[in-house]
Structure 1
Amino acid sequence: MAALKRTAFAMALAATALTGLPGCRPASTARATTPSTGDALADASELPGRRALAREIYVAGVPLLARYAVVHARNIDRASAEYQGPLNVLHWVMVSAESSRAEPGATVSASLDLRAEPMVLRVPALPAARTYVMQLTDLLASVPAQISSRSSGNQAGDYLVVGPGWQGTVPVGITDVIHADTSLVSVSGWIQQLATDSVHSRQQLQRGFRVQPLSRYLGVAPPPMPTATEWPQPLPADLARQSALFFGQLDALLSFAPMQPGDRDLRQRLQQLEITPSQRNLAHAATRALRDGMADGQREIDQRRVAVEDCQSDSLQGRDGDYSDAVSRACAAQRSLKEG
Structure 2
Amino acid sequence: MPRLKRTAFAMALAATALAGLPGCRPASIARATTPSDGGALEGASELPARRALARELYVAGVPLLARYAVVHARNIDRGGAEYQGPLNVLHWVMVSAEISRAEPGATEAHEPAEAFTVAASLDLRAEPMVVRVPALPAERTYLLQLTDLQASVPAQISSRSTGNQPGDYLVVGPGWQGEVPVGIVDVIHADTTLVSISGWVQGLDTDSSGARQTLQRGFRIQPLSRHLAIAPPPITLGDWPQPLPADIARHSALFFARLEALLSFVPAQPGEANLRQRLQQLEITPPQRPLAQAATRALREGMADGQREIDQRRAALGGCDPGEVDAAHSDAISRACAAQRTLKEG
- Which bin holds the TM-score, normalised by the shorter protein? 0.7 to 0.9
Q: CA RMSD in A?
A: 2.8
Amino acid at match of 1:50: R
Checking the alignment, whether the CA contact within 8 Å between 2:116 and 2:202 is kept in structure 1 is yes
CA 1:166/1:3 → structure 2, altered by over 3 Å: closer, same or farther? farther
The 5 A counterparts of 1:158-237 are: 158-227=168-237, 229-237=238-246
Matched with 2:85 is 85
Checking the alignment, whether the CA contact within 8 Å between 1:308 and 1:315 is kept in structure 2 is no
- 2: distance between equivalents of 1:253 and 1:84? 22
Matched with 2:34 is 35
Matched with 2:334 is 328
Amino acid at match of 2:342: S
- 1: distance between equivalents of 2:188 and 2:197? 12
CA 1:120/1:281 → structure 2, altered by over 3 Å: closer, same or farther? closer
Checking the alignment, whether the CA contact within 8 Å between 2:140 and 2:204 is kept in structure 1 is yes
- 2: distance between equivalents of 1:270 and 1:62? 14
CA 1:139/1:280 → structure 2, altered by over 3 Å: closer, same or farther? closer
Amino acid at match of 2:345: E
Amino acid at match of 1:323: H
SS at match of 1:302: helix
Matched with 1:11 is 13
CA 1:200/1:221 → structure 2, altered by over 3 Å: closer, same or farther? same
- 1: distance between equivalents of 2:72 and 2:250? 18
The total of aligned residue pairs comes to 319
Amino acid at match of 2:61: G
- 2: distance between equivalents of 1:213 and 1:266? 30
Q: CA deviation at 1:6?
A: 4.1
- 2: distance between equivalents of 1:110 and 1:225? 22
- 2: distance between equivalents of 1:173 and 1:114? 20
Matched with 2:68 is 68
Matched with 1:306 is 315
TM-score normalised to structure 1 length? 0.85
- 2: distance between equivalents of 1:327 and 1:14? 9
Checking the alignment, whether the CA contact within 8 Å between 2:131 and 2:170 is kept in structure 1 is yes
Matched with 1:28 is none
Cα displacement string for residues 300-338 of structure 1 (whole angstroms, at most 9, x for unaligned residues): 1111111113111343524xxx93011111111111101
Matched with 1:29 is none
- Once the two structures are overlaid, the 10-residue window that deviates more, 113-122 or 255-264, is 255-264
Matched with 1:113 is 123
Q: CA deviation at 1:158?
A: 0.6
- 1: distance between equivalents of 2:308 and 2:170? 39
Q: CA deviation at 1:68?
A: 0.5
> Do residues 248 (structure 1) and 270 (structure 2) align?
no
Amino acid at match of 2:213: Q
Matched with 2:267 is 258
CA 1:99/1:115 → structure 2, altered by over 3 Å: closer, same or farther? closer
CA 1:9/1:239 → structure 2, altered by over 3 Å: closer, same or farther? farther
CA 1:108/1:2 → structure 2, altered by over 3 Å: closer, same or farther? same
CA 1:288/1:99 → structure 2, altered by over 3 Å: closer, same or farther? closer
- 2: distance between equivalents of 1:261 and 1:120? 25
Q: CA deviation at 1:45?
A: 2.7
Matched with 2:107 is none
CA 1:206/1:267 → structure 2, altered by over 3 Å: closer, same or farther? closer
Cα displacement string for residues 214-270 of structure 1 (whole angstroms, at most 9, x for unaligned residues): 01111111111433x321111111100000100111100000001111347786687
Q: Which runs of 5+ in 1 are unaligned?
A: 18-32
- 1: distance between equivalents of 2:308 and 2:127? 39
- 2: distance between equivalents of 1:92 and 1:232? 26
CA 1:54/1:305 → structure 2, altered by over 3 Å: closer, same or farther? same
CA 1:243/1:191 → structure 2, altered by over 3 Å: closer, same or farther? same
- 1: distance between equivalents of 2:170 and 2:330? 26
> Do residues 135 (structure 1) and 145 (structure 2) align?
yes
Cα displacement string for residues 138-195 of structure 1 (whole angstroms, at most 9, x for unaligned residues): 0110000011111111111110000001000001000000000000000011011011
Q: CA deviation at 1:78?
A: 0.8
CA 1:16/1:165 → structure 2, altered by over 3 Å: closer, same or farther? farther
SS at match of 1:310: coil
Q: CA deviation at 1:15?
A: 6.8
Checking the alignment, whether the CA contact within 8 Å between 2:35 and 2:41 is kept in structure 1 is no
